[in-house]
Amino acid sequence: MGKGGGCVPSKKKVPHVAASRTAPIQRDDTSADDTTEIAQASSSEVVAAATGMARLRIFIVFYSMYGHVEGLARRLKKGVDGVEGVEGVLYRVPETLSTEILQQMRAPPKDDGIPVITAEELAAADGVLFGFPTRYGSMAAQMKAFFDSTGQLWKEQKLAGKPAGFFVSTGTQGGGQETTAWTAITQLAHHGMLFVPIGYTFGPGMFKMESIRGGSPYGAGVYAGDGTREPSETELALAEHQGKYMALVVKRLNR
C-alpha cells in the first residue's frame, strides 16, 4: 500500500535506527573534563557574540512512528551542525494517536529528549526541514495535523521567505519517495516558503544502483520495509548531506 515506517506492523524486532537517543544528563558536580567540554561548546557562541553575528537555526521538525524518520533527522542535524554559524534543532510534532493504539501498533516509545513543537515556535526558525513517513503517497496525518494548526502563521505570513525542505520514509520502492515530498510542497506555497530540493548535489551517491537506496532530488529518504529494515549508510549519508546543503543555503540567504 506504500505506507512508510511499517504500515503492516511486524512481530519481529523493533528497529533501532534511532537508538542513538541521548537521555537528559543530571549531575550535581562538574568535573574538569566537563568544564573543558562546556568551554569548547560555547567557543563558537563567544565568537559569534564578538562579531555581532547570531547563530542561524534550522528547525528539523519530524514525525516518526517506528524510528526511521528520526534516524534521518539525527543525521540531518549532524550535517547542519557541521556548518559554521548554523545549528540544527530537533523537534517532533504532536502525536494524534492514543497510547493504547500505539501499543497495539507496536510503536516504540518516543524520546523525551526531543521536545514537541508548537506552531508558534516555527516563526523563530531561519529554515525548516520537515520529515515524515508516507501514507499512500502523501504525508502522515500527524504532520498534516501540525500544518493545519499553522493558520495564524499563514494569516500573518510569518513563514514567508523562509527556506524549507523535506525528508521521508516509505515502505516500498514504489511507495512514494518522490510523491510524498512533492505533494507536501502545497503547504510551503501557501505560507510563501521557499522549497529547497537537493537535486543531484549528492554526486555519485545519487546514481548508485548496486543496492536499494531511498532518497530523491526532493530530499533524503529511507525504505522501511515492514518496519524492521535498517537504513543503509548511503541513505544516512544523503541525509547528512541534505542537512549541510540546507545550512549553506540558509547562510547564503542571510548574508
- H helix or E strand, kind and range, residue 166: strand 163-170
CA distance 142 to 202: 29
Which residues pair with residue 149 across a beta bridge?
none
Sequence-distant (≥ 6) Cβ neighbours of residue 72 within 8 angstroms: 62, 131, 167, 169, 220, 221, 222, 231, 235, 236, 239
> What is the C-alpha separation between 244 and 253, in angstroms, rounded?
14
Cα separation of 130 and 184, whole Å? 10
Which domains are delineated in the chain?
54-254 (3.40.50.360)
The pTM (predicted TM-score) of the whole model is: 0.80
Per-residue pLDDT tens over the stretch 34-64: 434 434 444 444 444 444 568 999 999 999 9
Residue 97 burial by CB count (10 A; 0-12/13-18/19+): exposed, middle or buried?
A: middle
The string of pLDDT tens digits covering residues 183-239 is 999 999 999 999 999 999 999 888 877 878 889 999 999 988 887 888 889 999 999
